[in-house]
Amino acid sequence: MDLVNHRSLEGRLQQATLDLLAGCDIQFRRETRLDIALVKNLPIALIFLPAADIPTFVGEGRVDLGITGQDQVGEHDAALPAGETSHVEEVMDLGFGRCKLQVQVPEKGTITDPKQLIGRNVVTSFTGLTEAFFAKLEGKSDAEKSELSTKIKYVGGSVEAACALGVADGIVDLVGK
């Protein structure tokens, strides 16, 4: 059995995942810079992957089980081609890493409602979910996402800097609950 885990979890998320594995008596030793660790006491291999890749590997049946965020699964599913279905199923909410995607605008700006961002620039790391959200605001179907008047731009990090640097009128980013 393969179990995938996010390889670059930081701080409390990394520790919560390691605590979960230890609490399940999953004993492993991971060598520095290796993305695979064999479990000593069970017939399991742990594969450490970026969080965004886990839904793809699980959905295609390449690994049996993954630990990642619901945001990553949602983004994966939103990016699937029309007619293709995800084979990712949430088995259990692990109860850590609580966050939500949120539309944000500059505090001192004039925008007070997400509808005011229609036709403007929005920056995010979650383009699939953001396009689906703005498609609904614009009254378009998922198939018409390519016709959005809102311009969704991808930024892999520092999303919150996009407005201050003049790249975006608003952002969609993760915030802690």
CB within 8 A of 113, min separation 6: which ones? Answer: none
Give the fold, CATH level 3, of 100-176.
D-Maltodextrin-Binding Protein; domain 2 (3.40.190)
Span 153-159, average pLDDT: 90
Domain 2-95 has CATH 3.40.50.2300: no
Tokens of 91: 């088995």
Question: Are 55 and 68 spatial neighbours (Cβ–Cβ below 8 Å)?
Answer: yes
Q: What is the pLDDT of residues 39-91, one digit of tens each?
A: 999 999 999 888 889 999 999 999 999 998 888 999 999 888 878 889 999 99
Q: What is the pLDDT of residues 99-150, one digit of tens each?
A: 888 999 998 889 999 999 999 999 999 999 999 999 999 998 877 777 889 9
Domain with CATH 3.40.190.10 in the chain: 2-95, 100-176
* Phi and psi torsions of 132, nearest 5°: -65, -40
Question: Are 152 and 130 spatial neighbours (Cβ–Cβ below 8 Å)?
Answer: yes
Give the pLDDT band (50/70/90) at residue 14.
Answer: confident
